[in-house]
Amino acid sequence: MAFETILFETEGPLAIITVNRPKALNALSPQVVGELEQAIKDIRDSDDIRAVILTGAGDKAFIAGADIAAMSKMSPLEGRAFSRYGQDVLFSLEKLPQPVIAAVNGFALGGGCEIAMACDFIYAADSAKFGQPEINLGIIPGFGGTQRLSRLVGKGWAKELCLTGAIIGADQAAAIGLVTRVFPAEELMEAAKKTALGMAAKGRVSLRAIKELIDNGYDMSLERAIPMEAENFATCFASPDQAEGMTAFLEKRKPDFKGGLND
Ligand code: DAK
């Protein structure tokens, strides 16, 4: 499929998705959401893509939110349909078997912050800004913001950001745990690629199991979640990656993971 509002590039085992509407600060129009949905499906079905980076075009914005011009004309029913559609697309992003880094290079507001939070972790340029300013538009976050934000940063910060519409910088976002690392803007993509390539070289069975366990276990009681870890731990031992990883360690060489069972 030819994309018009996103760029989809591959570099070896990496896929790099760039939301590409810089004049509208990469706002999420229904077309962007549809193209993201397709790109996510392509990545999920790919044997070659081992890690993903999501970013925004230009140096001003990652994604400045849902497209306010498009949203302004929606009826309540259309608003609900758009919200559910967006939530489904973000679930499919979150559930990709490959690890996904959000490389936030500017404004990540509203739906932009929500998309970043559906990635596995967030790297930010020192110029990045985060917020859930929907309250200023007379609405609420619609792509999971009230739920993922509190899980990431706790209820106090989630409420302060959503109730006030405050916009915070990258260092503050890192201090509250929304962002894992902050880089000078010009170093952001290289840093994201280095980390993504590092993950791409790991075993696929392990990568997927870790993602699923952390995401699924987070909302469960420890008593119910811990046994899931044991099951996945056992599955690793049925994968060639486990034999390769341990043999490589004992032979004092780097492992060459090729995937296998369940990948
Ligand atoms: N949508 C559409 N266009 C946008 C936009 C957006 N979110 N953000 C910026 N733009 C456009 C501006 O209109 C402007 O276009 P032109 O006038 O040049 O044609 C261009 O990008 C440059 O923006 P500015 O001129 O405003 O640039 P500044 O540097 O002065 O300001 C800013 C940058 C990011 C502070 C400002 O643009 C801004 O406040 N933008 C809006 C940020 C925002 O409120 N984001 C949250 C959007 S609401 C739901 C589903 C999803 C959601 C909610 C509900 N359901 C359906 C229930 C999610 C909602 C949101 O994300």
What are the pLDDT digits (tens) for 49-61? 999 999 999 999 9
Q: Is the pLDDT confidence value at 261 over 80?
A: no
State in Å: Cα 110 to ligand 1 middle.
Answer: 9
**Nearest atom within ligand 1 for CA of residue 78:** 56
Query: Considering 134, 160, 187, 190, which one is annotated as catalytic?
Result: 134
State in Å: Cα 107 to ligand 1 middle.
Answer: 10
Question: Treating both helix axes as pointing N-terminal to C-terminal, what angle do 222-236 and 204-217 enclose, rounded to 10 degrees?
Answer: 170
- Closest-CA residue, ligand 1 atom 44, reads 133
Question: What is the model's pLDDT at position 205?
Answer: 93
Q: What distance in Å separates the CA atoms of residue 36 and residue 39, rounded to the nearest whole number?
A: 5
State in Å: Cα 4 to ligand 1 middle.
Answer: 20
- Closest-CA residue, ligand 1 atom 3, reads 24
State in Å: Cα 63 to ligand 1 middle.
Answer: 9
The correct answer on CATH 1.10.12.10 for the domain covering 204-250 is yes
- How many CB atoms within 10 Å of residue 231? 10
Residue to mutate, 26, 28, 68, 146, ligand 1, most ligand atoms under 8 Å from C-beta: 68
> Out of 9-13, 85-89, 178-182, which region has the weakest mean confidence (pLDDT)?
85-89
Question: What is the model's pLDDT at position 45?
Answer: 94
- Closest-CA residue, ligand 1 atom 21, reads 24
pLDDT single digits (tens) 126-137: 999 999 999 999
Q: How far is CA 81 from CA 63, 67, 143, 207, in A?
A: 21, 15, 11, 33
Q: Is the pLDDT confidence value at 263 over 50?
A: no
- Closest-CA residue, ligand 1 atom 6, reads 67
State in Å: Cα 72 to ligand 1 middle.
Answer: 12
Q: Is the pLDDT confidence value at 80 over 90?
A: no
160 is catalytic: no
Section 174-190 average pLDDT: 98
Question: What is the model's pLDDT at position 260?
Answer: 62
Where does 6-200 sit in CATH, by number? 3.90.226.10
Query: Considering 11, 114, 212, 223, which one is annotated as catalytic?
Result: 114
Q: Is the pLDDT confidence value at 9 over 90?
A: yes
Q: What distance in Å separates the CA atoms of residue 230 and residue 155, rounded to the nearest whole number?
A: 30
**Residue 258: which pLDDT band, with cuts at 50, 70 and 90?**
confident
DSSP letter string over the chain?
---SSEEEEEETTEEEEEE--GGGTT-B-HHHHHHHHHHHHHHHT-SS--EEEEEESSSSEEE--B-HHHHTT--HHHHHHHHHHHHHHHHHHHT-SS-EEEEE-SEEETHHHHHHHHSSEEEEETT-EEE-GGGGGT----SSHHHHHHHHH-HHHHHHHHHH--EEEHHHHHHTTS-SEEE-GGGHHHHHHHHHHHHHTS-HHHHHHHHHHHHHHTTS-HHHHHHHHHHHHHHHTTSHHHHHHHHHHHTTS-------TT-
- What residue ranges do the domains of the chain occupy? 6-200, 204-250
Q: Which residues line ligand 1 (CB under 6 A)?
A: 24-25, 27, 64-69, 79, 82-83, 86, 107, 109-111, 133-134, 137, 139, 141-143
Please calculate the CA angle 149-213-51 and round it to the nearest 5 degrees.
Answer: 80
In this structure, are residues 89 and 33 in contact, taking their beta carbons and an 8 Å threshold?
yes
Q: What is the pTM of this model?
A: 0.95
**Residue 3: which pLDDT band, with cuts at 50, 70 and 90?**
very high
37 is catalytic: no
